[in-house]
Amino acid sequence: MTAPFHPDRLQKLADLRELGADPYPARSPEGRELGADLIAAFAQREGQQVTICGRVTGRRGYGKLAFLDVVDESGRIQAVLQKDRLSAEDFALLKALNLGDFVSVTGELATTGKGEISVFGDSDFTILTKALENPPEKWYGLADAEQRARRRYVDLFSNEEVRQDFLRRTRIIQAMRAVFLEHGYHEVETPVLHPIYGGANARPFVTHHNALDMQLYLRIAPELYLKRLLVGGIERVFEFARVFRNEGLSPRHNPEFTMVEFYEAYTDYLGMLELTEQLVVAGARAAGLEAEDGTICAEFRGQSYNLTPPFQRVRYADAFVEHAGCDPTDRAAVWQLLAQTLPEHPQRQADPAQLGDYSYWKTVNDLFEEKVETALPGPVFVYDYPAAICPLAKPSADDPVWAERFEFFLGGMELANAFSELNDPQLQLAKFEEQVADKDDPEAPNEVDLDYVRALAYGMPPAGGCGIGIDRLIMVLLNKDTIRDVLLFPHMRPEAGTEDEPGDAE
């Protein structure tokens, strides 16, 4: 990568210093206001002295007059600099100004001959930061998807819509946080470095602590720590947790992503279902998806999704019967379906009557994902999952084949997963041991988290818990086809020509 200092701009930088101006002053003028606020309040503010600060993104110059487009976080406002209104020193700075520089302008708020609200600089014009790299093309901006992600800072300042979408993301998360706080939840932080990984099925990133000489894993889920807090008597907890899964990348997968997990004592999965619905609706409202008549609608990948509550609810077994065409407990019928639907499935040749519960129901779930999930555009809550594939969920008291668990589907993606949390320490231990013994599953936990079992042995109150995939939810709410467009800095391989130091053995 060549040095990103444009020679012409280095000259302008020297010119600025020649004029006695600091190209990187520490302080900006006081009393700075946002352009959008000034435009909104123009009727009351016309003729007043105001100060704006921002990046110069456009310039139309006339020798003794210049129009500047000044962009701040609120948007664009025009500054007008005229030779006969400014001091000679300030006007001379225009010669050293380039697009991309930050400036402040103090002067009269008024309209131009064409009627545009502008700040007519008179008492001050200052270059606040000299840019040494050219901004992108003014009309098309930065268009290359790779460069937009690698240089998000450029993408953000050169494309108003991109910046607005990322600000919407933070508003969505704030709205969800507000829902938790209204319900008496406490926001907590739990470890990212885990000696034993668990709480989900996924391959972890492995790291190493030098001083302790121990292997650690980046968390794949915060679940087991959050539930320890229920044992400790913190009855409502949530964490917006960055988690890490060592798997492939795709338009829906980034190695690190954000989920919110939340746990509440003295409720169950149906309580979590109600809260999840509220959270999704609050996020959708924050994204501006609510119409005047109160209906909420998201457009995603060319499809329209009605997010006006209540969302559809359907039992797992009922959905299976409806979309797969057979009773999921009918092993012979399920295997017939397997032969038709997934002939390459590894359990295809097994005798279903002899199969253990876990292997059988995992196969049922493979069919569910193939036949049922694809038929559920959502928003929909699917509830009462097979207990055998739910190691952390409480089995139903009525029929232990099923567990008190739901998943939430929207836009063809699984966005949330919730249970009545399993708090029987003996049953939990047995399920953990069964998982660890399953050497065929590369994503099974490496060892039993005995400390978690011990925590349960002290007693965890009955509780509901849920995890929501924040990035995917935001994809739907902001109509972004790829997860990269909702992550400020999605994972990228090293840029060509910037990596491999000599001596790196392969």
The answer to whether 373 and 316 are in contact (CB under 8 A) is: no
Q: Which of 194, 371, 480, 484 binds RNA (CB under 7 A)?
A: 484
Q: What CA–CA distance (Å, rounded) separates 466 from 261?
A: 6
Report the site for RNA in 88-107 (rule: CB under 7 A).
98-99
| Smaller CB separation from RNA, 40 or 332 | 40
What the block records as the tokens of 427 is 């049953």
| Smaller CB separation from RNA, 251 or 459 | 251
| Smaller CB separation from RNA, 231 or 272 | 272
| Minimal distance, residue 268 CB to RNA, in Å | 21
DSSP letters, 359-379, are HHHHHHHHHIIIIIGGG--SS
Q: What CA–CA distance (Å, rounded) separates 384 from 399?
A: 10
| Smaller CB separation from RNA, 221 or 448 | 221
Q: Which of 75, 195, 255, 271 binds RNA (CB under 7 A)?
A: 255
| Minimal distance, residue 92 CB to RNA, in Å | 12
All residues at 6 or more sequence positions from 176 whose CB lies less than 8 Å from its CB, including other chains: 260, 279, 282, 283
Q: Residue 65 interacts with RNA (CB under 7 A)?
A: yes
Q: Which of 17, 19, 64, 209 binds RNA (CB under 7 A)?
A: 64
> Binding string, 427-466, against RNA, x = CB under 7 A?
----------------x-----------------------
Contact window for RNA (CB under 7 A) among 172-180, 324-332, 450-458, 476-484: 476-484
| Minimal distance, residue 414 CB to RNA, in Å | 3
Q: What CA–CA distance (Å, rounded) separates 364 from 134?
A: 57
**Nearest Cα residue to 485 out of 139, 257, 145:** 145
| Smaller CB separation from RNA, 42 or 67 | 67
Q: What CA–CA distance (Å, rounded) separates 102 from 32?
A: 13
Alpha helices (runs of H) in 393-496, residue ranges in sequence order: 425-437, 450-457, 470-478
Q: Residue 116 interacts with RNA (CB under 7 A)?
A: yes
> Binding string, 394-433, against RNA, x = CB under 7 A?
-------------------xxx-x----------------
Unique residue bearing structure tokens 């932080």: 189
DSSP letters, 135-161, are PPPTTT-S--HHHHHHTHHHHHHH-HH
Contact window for RNA (CB under 7 A) among 250-258, 264-272, 311-319, 453-461: 250-258
List strand residue ranges (DSSP E) for 83-180, in order.
Answer: 102-111, 117-129
| Minimal distance, residue 482 CB to RNA, in Å | 5
The answer to whether 259 and 243 are in contact (CB under 8 A) is: yes
Number of helical (H) and strand (E) elements in the chain, helices listed first: 15, 18
Q: Residue 118 interacts with RNA (CB under 7 A)?
A: yes
| Minimal distance, residue 500 CB to RNA, in Å | 9
Torsion sign over Cα 275, 276, 278, 282 = positive
Count Cβ neighbours within 10 Å for each residue of 226-244 and write b for 16 or more, e otherwise.
bbbbbbeeebbbbbbbebb
Q: Which of 138, 209, 348, 454 binds RNA (CB under 7 A)?
A: 138
> Binding string, 362-401, against RNA, x = CB under 7 A?
----------------------------------------
| Minimal distance, residue 65 CB to RNA, in Å | 3
Contact window for RNA (CB under 7 A) among 43-51, 241-249, 262-270, 381-389: 241-249
| Minimal distance, residue 481 CB to RNA, in Å | 6
| Smaller CB separation from RNA, 417 or 423 | 417
Unique residue bearing structure tokens 């969302």: 311
| Minimal distance, residue 111 CB to RNA, in Å | 8
| Smaller CB separation from RNA, 293 or 506 | 506
All residues at 6 or more sequence positions from 348 whose CB lies less than 8 Å from its CB, including other chains: 338, 339, 342
Q: Residue 333 interacts with RNA (CB under 7 A)?
A: no
Q: Which of 3, 43, 353, 496 binds RNA (CB under 7 A)?
A: 496
Q: What CA–CA distance (Å, rounded) separates 229 from 419?
A: 17
